[in-house]
Amino acid sequence: MSATMTSPAKPSSKPASDRLFNFSAGPGVLADEVLRQAQQDIWNIDGSDIGILEHSHRGKVFDRVLAEAEADVRSVGNVPANFKVLFLTGGASTQNFMIPANLLPQGGTADYINTGYWAEKCIEEAKFYGTVHLAGSSKEKNHTFIPSQAELKFSPKPAYVHYTSNNTIYGTEYHYTPTTPAGVPLVCDASSDIYSRPIDVSRFGLIYAGAQKNMGAAGTTVLWIRDDVLERCNPKLPTMLRFGVHAKESSRYNTPPVFAIYVVGLVMKWVKKFEYAGKRGVEAMQVYNGEKAKLIYDVLDSSKFYKGHARPDSRSLMNITFRTPSEQLDDKFLKEAQAQRMDGLKGHRAIGGMRASVYNAFPKGGCEVLAQFMREFERKNG
């Protein structure tokens, strides 16, 4: 472990001179010290004279890496002891079918909230296993908002309720945790806002997140599952599909995604010691992320030129979506931003326009530069 990974992490304001401001929606930006540590450990980790990519997944070095990654995922997220933390493969998308395979019994119904693209993919896959009841939807308003608790209508006995806490493409985010009917597990796809703010894990039955935004590198999906939910899982599934197998084997039933788990470990150590506004860890991240997003939303709110996609009460602090008055101006915006070393601002093809993804490791200085650029672009083109 280098000195940089053990001293407190302070937010940086600009990228190294040979790097861009990376607004990518994912895989996304990682902290400099995480990347520097990984560079070193790819060559030689823990003084073993072998790199992390080359160690056996059952050797002592990976024993340490895995144990620390899990312990740090737990401590950063304040995860209760009655939850298992699993490192799985196949992307968050594999959970679209793995969750209903395990938790939706034959003839059963699961409730889903449709807040756009990724939520829709979950719904489509669940239909292979049982009945899907739509408990809420933002579809008729082009996914510009998050349904409120009062707008949710659950089925009489759902196996679980599934929602997507942050909609990466539309730039909307829940600012509350849905309450489910008594005894019904809440299942959350938190791929694009996990650990951006504190959450009360005990409110959930299952949470999952592709690591490639706020937790590390593509290649692993982290899953938090409550013990009583694990016990409900269907035992008659192919081995690799059973949550119980991965839990029993502590994520080492087969060769796990060694490098991706290692990077999650580094990112968790970085979040744990992140300091801002007199706070630490995820609490500090919440303040930092709020200030970052505000810089850009303030520009939208004071402009007649830009139009934000999300309704103000449903705005995401991770993905900020907006457009100019025309597609031609959107293209010009993207070209000129790129020339000023801002990369990855093009909106998803489903909605067009621009999207600024400002995950945990994205520096506030980058939001200041973008806000300034937006004002200047409006002045010249508005």
Which active-site residues does the annotation give? 118, 189, 213
Distance of closest approach, residue 22 Cβ to ligand PMP, in angstroms: 15
Beta carbon nearer to ligand PMP, 48 or 93: 93
Nearest Cα to Cα of residue 223 among 58, 93, 86 = 86
Of the candidates 207, 215, 213, which has an alpha carbon nearest to the alpha carbon of residue 189? 207
CB of 51 to ligand PMP, least distance (A): 25
Stretch that binds ligand PMP, among 3-11, 99-107, 185-193, 298-306 (CB under 6 A): 185-193
Nearest to 161 by CA among 143, 139, 188: 188
Give the x/- contact pattern for ligand PMP in 268-297, rule: CB under 6 A: ------------------------------
* Residue 131 β-bridge partners: 109
Candidates 26, 256, 308, 366; binder of ligand PMP (CB under 6 A) is 26
The DSSP letter of residue 38 is: H
Q: Mask: binding to ligand PMP, 199-218, rule CB under 6 A, as x and -?
A: -----------x--------
Output phi, psi for 375, to 5 deg. Answer: -65, -45
349 Rama class: left (phi>0) / alpha (psi -120 to 50) / beta = alpha
Site for ligand PMP in 64-93 (CB under 6 A): 91-93
Q: Residue 320, interface with ligand PMP (CB under 6 A)?
A: no
- Residue showing the smallest CB distance to ligand PMP in the complex: 91
Q: Are 260 and 237 within 8 A, CB to CB? A: no
Q: Does 27 bind ligand PMP (CB under 6 A)?
A: no
- Cα 345 to chain centroid distance, Å, stands at 18
Taking CB under 6 A as the rule, which mask of x and - marks residues 333-372 in contact with ligand PMP? ----------------------------------------
Q: Using CB under 6 A, pick the residue from 189, 269, 289, 296 that binds ligand PMP.
A: 189
Q: Which is nearer to ligand PMP, 319 or 324 (CB)?
A: 319
Q: Please give the structure tokens belonging to residue 355.
A: 């999207």
- If phi > 0 it is left, if psi is from -120 to 50 it is alpha, else beta; for residue 46 that is left
Minimum CB distance to ligand PMP smaller for 223 or for 299:
223
Structure tokens at 316: 């995401």
Q: How far is the CB of 240 from ligand PMP (least distance, A)?
A: 16
Longest dimension (CA), the chain: 63
| Binding residue (CB under 6 A) for ligand PMP from 23, 87, 118, 224 | 118
Residue 234's Cβ-count burial label (10 Å; 0-12, 13-18, 19+) is middle
Q: Which is nearer to ligand PMP, 61 or 103 (CB)?
A: 103
CB atoms within 10 A of CB 331: 12
> Looking at 24, 191, 314, 316, which residue binds ligand PMP (CB under 6 A)?
191
- From the CB of 183, what's the least distance to ligand PMP, in Å? 26
C-alpha span between 125 and 95 (Å, rounded): 9
By C-alpha distance, which of 102, 140, 158, 100 is closest to 124? 100
Distance of closest approach, residue 114 Cβ to ligand PMP, in angstroms: 13
Question: In angstroms, rounded to a whole number, what is the distance separating the alpha carbons of residues 197 and 176?
Answer: 12
Q: 97 vs 253, which CB is nearer to ligand PMP? A: 97
Tokens encoding 120: 């829709």
- Helix, strand, coil percentages (3-state) for the chain, rounded to 5, are 40, 15, 45
Does residue 256 bind ligand PMP (CB under 6 A)?
Answer: no
d(CA 285, CA 277): 10
Closer to ligand PMP at the Cβ: 91 or 130?
Answer: 91
Q: Does residue 164 interact with ligand PMP by CB under 6 A?
A: yes
CB 95 to ligand PMP: min, Å: 8
Give residues in contact with ligand PMP (CB under 6 A): 26, 91-93, 118, 164, 168, 189, 191-192, 210
